Structure 1
């Protein structure tokens, strides 16, 4: 997948500078502690940090031999993915402003697990960090059909995947874990 900001020739140079990165999958409204943990590991490993947002409203049409990805929208509302990426960038900028680590934000497209896997391959990432999904019936149905991004990542590539809980602990005696 590709960064939405750099031009095609700049991607190779940018990827070279981001080798051995820690990648964190982010979405708007995600708890801050997911990014904080990714930052902590990036510092511990002496690695750059890549904040990745996956626009699931677009899909990959083809990829050039040099790695540049061309995509097309599932529907005509292109602003939704752009707005989400801007929200993720703003949240990352606010949290990482004083961080002593090289970081960048990337907009990916398509299936989240496959997009993050491909980015991790391009960057030879040391670690992938993702948050758990929110509790609730809607999220349970979505996961039933699409599967857990963390589980799919852990089964489809060799890099370690760190899964950060949302922060909403469920008591041990609560039978229905996914109730809202």
Structure 2
């Protein structure tokens, strides 16, 4: 099940139905293992699942008192975030087909850690599930400047976070974790 959050009153009603949810952060091409773990915990906790995609090309301009977020694009190519969300929503629908859980997809904007934290607060989420970043020099540089979403979540809110490892494990005897 997915929703299209279109009005503030619709979002408030949906948030009420999603209280105590498990939130999973998802990007296009996300490793299936992250979603599988989120589903497993949603079942264990008898909770709905919220698939959250954060559009980092937009920023929050203001928020209404009822929680409805207004945003503006950082870049002229403002369709990129919408296309990414559509891809995430389609991938989630494919991965969750037959999962027999209540789920929805949400598009968030701005800083990933802060956006997920805010959603978790609105839903009084029981758990946040994120994947580790992919290995590589580009991701290392990005993380150097922006920080790890999982680490930033761990330091900025009180909910439990499940960090799901992605890709190949680094052998214990390998000194360099992120080779070129």
Output the TM-score relative to the length of structure 2: 0.96
Which residue matches 1:76? 76
Q: Structure 2, unaligned stretches of length 5 or more? A: none
Q: Deviations over 1:64-122 (max 9, x none)?
A: 11100000000110111011111110110001110111000000000000000000000
How far 1:6 sits from its partner (Å)?
Answer: 3.1
Deviation of the 1:8 alpha carbon:
1.9
Match of 1:117 in 2: 117
Q: Deviations over 1:113-141 (max 9, x none)?
A: 00000000000000000000011111111
- Aligned counterpart, 1:141: 141
Which secondary structure does the structure 2 equivalent of 1:67 belong to?
coil
3-state SS, counterpart of residue 12 of structure 1: helix
The count of aligned residue pairs is 178
Alignment gaps of 5+ in structure 1: none
Distance 1:118 1:4 in 2: 18
> Quick check: 1:13 aligned with 2:13?
yes
With over 3 angstroms needed to count, the CA separation of the structure-2 counterparts of 1:70 and 1:4, relative to structure 1, is farther
Question: Secondary structure of the residue that 1:59 maps to in structure 2?
Answer: strand
Correspondence 1:89-128 to 2 at 5 A: 89-128=89-128
1:26 paired residue number = 26
Query: Using the alignment, how far apart are the partners of 1:168 and 1:12 within structure 2?
Result: 41
**Is the alpha carbon distance of 1:74 and 1:49 closer, same or farther for their aligned partners in structure 2, counting shifts above 3 Å?**
same
User: What's the TM-score once normalised by structure 1's chain length?
Assistant: 0.96
Conservation of the 8 A alpha-carbon contact between 1:4 and 1:107: no
Indicate yes or no: 2:39 matched with 1:39.
yes
Worse overlay, 126-135 or 164-173: 164-173
- Residues 117-174 of structure 1, C-alpha deviations (whole Å, 9 max, x = no match): 0000000000000000011111111111111000000010000000001131111111
* Counterpart position of 1:85: 85
Q: 1:53, 1:88 within 8 Å by CA — same for their partners in 2? A: yes
SS in 2 for 1:92: helix
Q: Deviations over 1:46-71 (max 9, x none)?
A: 00000000000000000011100000
Alpha-carbon RMSD across the aligned residues, in angstroms, is: 1.0
How many Å separate the matches in 2 of 1:177 and 1:171?
9
Report if aligned partners of 1:22, 1:129 keep a CA contact under 8 Å in 2. yes
